[in-house]
Amino acid sequence: MSEGPDWAFKLFDCFDTPLTCLWSCLVPCGTPCLQATTTKLTNDKEENAPLIAFLMACGLCCFGVAYNRTKIREVLSIKGSYLNDCILATFCCCCSMVREWREVMANKGFKEDEPVWKAWKGYQEVSS
């Protein structure tokens, strides 16, 4: 179990950000899109990390979602374990994804209920 603070947001507070909650639950590939965006915001070293996160969430289902969640937890120094992430990804995927989204957005100083399409487009680095 990695050491660090707990999550700032509770697991079942996902309804506090209804747009993100609906996106995660109802949009096909909504969770992989959220994971790709949170990975993009937390991993500035690997250019292809968002694509890998998206493919893992799609191809490996709960194991890929748990792996991506573990990576984000490590970057933000949040305590937890891969096993716990795997259980949440299996039985409570939407709520855990919204919690992850809110945590990353708050950590980066953005609005917690920022739509994924704005977050992806708005926070890209501008090349000159």
HEC-encoded secondary structure of 57-78: HHHCHHHHHHHHHHHHHHHHCC
Boundaries of every domain in the chain: 11-121
In sequence order, what are the beta bridge partners of 2? Answer: 80
Indicate the residue type of 57: A
Residues 6+ apart with CB under 8 A from 100: 34, 35, 38, 69, 72
Q: What type of residue sits at position 110?
A: F
Amino acid identity at 116 = V
Predicted local distance difference test score (pLDDT) of residue 3: 55
State pTM to two decimals.
0.81
- Render pLDDT for 59-101 as a digit per residue (tens, 0 to 9): 777 888 888 889 889 988 999 999 999 999 899 888 998 999 9
